[in-house]
Amino acid sequence: MMRSMYTAQRTMDLVVSGRVFAVCWLSASLGISILQMRLLAQAWQVSPHAFVPACLVSAWTFGSLIGMRVSSAPRTWGSSYLACTLLWLASPSLVSWHLPLGMVPPALVSIVVLALVALVLGASSTSWLAQQRPWPSATERTVLMRSLVGLTIGLVVAWMLPAFAGLIALTCCLPLLALDYFLSSRAPLPLQEGVAASWVGRYWNTDRWQLQLDRRRLPRYWWWNALGERSQASRRYLPLTLLASGVAVMLGSVWGAVPTPFAAGLAATYTLDKLAWLLGGQLIILALGTGFLFAARNVIGFPDRLLPLSRQSRVRSLALAMPVGMVASLAALGLPFLQTPWWLAVSLAGYTLAGAVWGMLLPRLRPGLGVVVSAQRHLLLGRRIGLPDSMQLASGRACEARARLLLTTFEGMLIAVITPLIGWMIDWLGSVDDVLVMVGLVFVLGLGCFALGHALFYVGAYRLAHTRAALTWQRLRLTGSSFPKVNVAAER
């Protein structure tokens, strides 16, 4: 009894522990971004071609896809990531010491070893950040801030402070590693496999059952059927998912290939201070956006809540306008007459604002199965309909998670293939600005084709539904007019 009371006293408050974990997680993710940009900068020094860093980004992406599918203790992956980083930073020549490879250029050996380092670091860092811990998960704002600002911070540190980039990155990663090693006993949440977790989840809870799907017994196109059912349950879910995947692939490819040659061009002209302007514009717009988010919290709600029906159309229209804003900002970054530090900061700030709004509204426009069921429980009970069984909900959530994993893997594969192509285009055209403008035009063309196909699809569906309704009404009229004749004949 005394031991239980001592453990309860040592446990952190849930709110405080959530903030502590968010800070540690954000710090570690920023350190990983710094190391990634430092690795790409080293590849540029070995071979000053945009195709080489783009290939390293592809290797990092493949490693991230591998890290998403493995599960282990956070301490294991954190230690592995730290060991690989120290090994890479402690050997500047990268295995080019006394290799009997007179026929192989040293630059090729260095590039191959850098690709292996990118693969290992991508797998270990992704798995380390994605592991489930007995701490509250990182909040939506933390993850969104990391995705929008992390690359710029890594670029600034890697190119403006190259001698201290490795030390700064390791320092940023230490808080999360210390949290995994020394503060796990003060975590407020029980482990998933513990007795306390089973005791807490003994009531109706969709997260209680962690099912593993048997892929051999699933239908052939189960993932497509799941998307079709979800598209019927929530309005226009499938087109929004396809649009989100296209935006993620295009933007991931651009930001994988463009930053390193862009920073190298600034270093060649001794104008690296523009990177500080870019980062300052992003931080200012994020601060303003956070204030607007607090003011509009009653409008969009929390991530685990559904949007009010009266505001769904307006929110959807606003969200669909955000990819256009991101495309315009990308094109503005490459326009020759907008290359002053002030205009570059404004362009990237506009992209950051559009990306933040898109990242906030997208999860609310395509909610998960658990969110939909939790939000509609009062409706089911009001209609005297029983709640779904926990096993059914767990099975639906498992299928949804599996489909999401497959979709993320497909997006990652496309990013890994398109990124070297954009790097090759930069080398071919000899300018990052021309590639940004070209990508913006292609993006606009793709959005226009998507909007046209979406409109044609719904026009065809509306006409088909109208034709079916007309045929049904005609059949009902014929059936209804034949009843009196049959009755009269029967009386005669």
Rounded average pLDDT per 10-residue block, the chain, 492 residues: 46 75 90 92 88 92 87 78 84 51 68 88 88 79 86 91 90 88 72 48 45 56 54 58 86 90 88 89 85 67 68 80 86 83 88 87 74 61 53 65 80 92 89 85 80 70 65 58 42 44
**Residue at token pair 């300052």:** 280
Position 2 scores a pLDDT of: 41
Torsion from C-alpha of 422, 282, 41, 419, nearest 10 degrees: -20
Q: What type of residue is 325?
A: G
Q: Is there a contact between 300 and 319 (Cβ–Cβ < 8 Å)? A: no
Position 419 scores a pLDDT of: 93
CA distances in angstroms from 218 to 212, 215, 223, 395, 403, listed in the order given: 12, 5, 9, 12, 12
Token pair of 284, please? 């200012």
Token pair of 88, please? 């890479």
Beta carbons within 8 Å of 156's beta carbon, 6+ residues apart: 275, 276, 278, 279
CA distances in angstroms from 138 to 174, 384, 390, listed in the order given: 17, 37, 26
Position 361 scores a pLDDT of: 83
Position 490 scores a pLDDT of: 40
Position 391 scores a pLDDT of: 59
Q: What type of residue is 282?
A: Q
Position 95 scores a pLDDT of: 45
Position 450 scores a pLDDT of: 73
| 3-state secondary structure labels for all residues of the chain | CHHHHHHHHHCCCHHHHHHHHHHHHHHHHHHHHHHHHHHHHHHHHHCCCCHHHHHHHHHHHHHHHHHHCCCCCHHHHHHHHHHHHHHHHHCCCCCCCCCCCCCCCHHHHHHHHHHHHHHHHHHHHHHHHHCCCCCCCCCHHHHHHHHHHHHHHHHHHHHHCCCCHHHHHHHHHHHHHHHHHHCHHHCCCCCCCCHHHHHHCCCCCCCCCCCCCCHHHCCCCHHHHHHHHHHHHCCCHHHHHHHHHHHHHHHHHHHHHCHHHHHHHHHHCCCCHHHHHHHHHHHHHHHHHHHHHHHCHHHHCCCCCCCCHHHHHHHHHHHHHHHHHHHHHHHHHHCHHHCCHHHHHHHHHHHHHHHHHHHHHHHHHCCCHHHHHHHCHHHHHHCCCCCCCHHHHHHHHHHHHHHHHHHHHHHHHHHHHHHHHHHHHHHHHCCHHHHHHHHHHHHHHHHHHHHHHHHHHHHHHHHHHHHHHHHHHHHHHHHHHHHHHHHHHHHC
Q: Please, what is the end-to-end C-alpha distance for the chain in angstroms?
A: 92
Position 421 scores a pLDDT of: 93
Nearest to 190, CA basis, from 131, 133, 134: 134
